[in-house]
Amino acid sequence: MYKLIFFFLFSSASFGQGTWTEKMPMTSVPRMASIGFSIGEKGYVGLGTAGSWLSLLSDFWEYNPQTNSWSQKADFPGGERMGAIGFNIGAKGYVGTGVDGNQVLYNDLWEYNPQTDNWIQKASFPGGVRMNMVCFVIDNCAYVGTGDNYNLGILYNDFWKYDPVSDIWTQISSFPGLARSLATAFSINGKGFVGTGKNFNFISYKDMWEYTPITNSWVQKNNFGGSSRSESHSFTLGEYGYLGVGTTLTGSGTVSDFWRYDASSDSWTQISNFGGGFRESVSGFKINCKYYIASGSIDDNDFKKDLWELTIDTCYELIDTTTIENISDKTYLLPNIFTPNNDNINSFWSTNFIDDSEYILILNRWGQNIVKLSIDSPTWDGTYNTKECSDGVYFYEGIMRGEIKHGFIHLVR
List of residues 6+ apart from 51 with CB closer than 8 A: 301, 303
pLDDT of residue 41: 86
State the pLDDT confidence band at 10, using cuts at 50, 70 and 90.
very low
Higher pLDDT, 64 or 353: 64
State the pLDDT confidence band at 329, using cuts at 50, 70 and 90.
low
- pLDDT for residue 139 is more than 60: yes
Measured distance between the N- and C-terminal CA atoms of the chain, rounded to whole angstroms: 27
pLDDT above 90 coverage of the chain, percent = 66
pLDDT of residue 333: 76
Classify residue 325 by its DSSP letter.
G
Give the mean pLDDT of the chain: 89
| Alpha carbon of residue 151 to chain centroid | 31
pTM of the model: 0.76
Report the sign of the C-alpha dihedral through residues 71, 74, 78, 79, in that order.
Answer: positive
- Please state which CATH number belongs to domain 321-411: 2.60.40
- pLDDT for residue 2 is more than 50: no
pLDDT of residue 172: 98
- Please state which CATH number belongs to domain 17-311: 2.120.10.80
Average pLDDT over residues 345-358: 85
8 A C-beta contact, residue 303 and residue 274: no
Amino acid present at 93 = G
Cα 61–Cα 67–Cα 72 angle in degrees, nearest 5: 20
pLDDT of residue 397: 86
Q: Locate the domains of the chain by residue range.
A: 17-311, 321-411
